[in-house]
Amino acid sequence: MLELEFELDIMFSGIIETTAILHLIEQEGTNSTFTFKSEFTNELKVDQSIAHNGVCLTVTSIEGDLYKVTAIAETLRLTNLGDIKIGDKVNFERCIRLNDRLDGHMVQGHVDGTARVIEIADKDGSWEYQFQLEENFTDIGGHSPEKLIVHKGSITINGTSLTVTNIKNNQFGVAIIPYTYQLTNFHKLNIGDRVNIELDVLGKYVARLMA
């Protein structure tokens, strides 16, 4: 059987492959160029799309086990990439291939806004995280972002596809299993930390059509 090897640009599944470590930050005007180290660097290519904490960025250069991406001022303002420091881990996912199973949900790598961690509860085998949405969300058909968060629906947090367990006003929760906790940067999150949120793209299209 012939297997397709094309990549579907700027489409992800929210299933994190690994974490990348921030090695260097360089300011270029209002932009920031980040140099990351990843176990997959040798498999990357220039112009490839990579989700970093759920933010789709383009690889601009590769040298050894290091690669560079650039984030413009708007991306830094709207996401938590403006907060990261040397040595921090970011969640890493390459765009999906056309013949891949979609194990998470459809993720574009276009962050809608951020939320703050307000509670972390150890459930003796899993963890429950509570978040509060911030007020920096892009316009979504005139709807407030919490209206597009559905109980037991999908949401992307720092690039990770997760299921919403509870909603109250502009706060919501998710449950994290041990595998996800260790593989992603969730084990590094503390109360008050800012995370990137991408709302379900199908919900955003419906909201726009109904506006």
Provide the residue-wise pLDDT of the chain in tens; the chain has 211 residues. 334 343 444 589 899 999 999 999 999 999 999 999 999 999 999 999 999 999 999 999 999 999 999 999 999 999 999 999 999 999 999 988 766 666 767 888 999 999 999 999 999 999 999 999 999 887 777 778 888 899 999 999 999 999 999 999 999 999 999 999 999 999 999 999 999 999 988 888 887 787 7
- The pTM is what? 0.88
Residue 198: partners with Cβ closer than 8 Å, 6 or more residues away: 54, 107, 108, 109, 110, 111, 112, 155, 156, 159
Tell me the two tokens of residue 12.
Answer: 């992800």
User: Is the domain covering 113-210 a CATH 2.40.30.20 domain?
Assistant: yes
Alpha helices in the chain (DSSP H): 73-78, 178-183, 201-210
Q: Which of 41, 123, 31 shows the shortest CA–CA distance to 77?
A: 31
The alpha carbons of the chain give a radius of gyration, in whole angstroms, of 17
Which pLDDT score is estimated for 33? 98
Do the domains 18-94 and 113-210 sit in the same CATH topology, yes or no? yes
Which pLDDT score is estimated for 4? 38
Q: Which of 149, 143, 110, 111 shows the shortest CA–CA distance to 130?
A: 149
Which pLDDT score is estimated for 23? 98
Sorted by where each begins, the domain ranges of the chain are 18-94, 113-210
Q: Which CATH architecture has domain 18-94?
A: Beta Barrel (2.40)
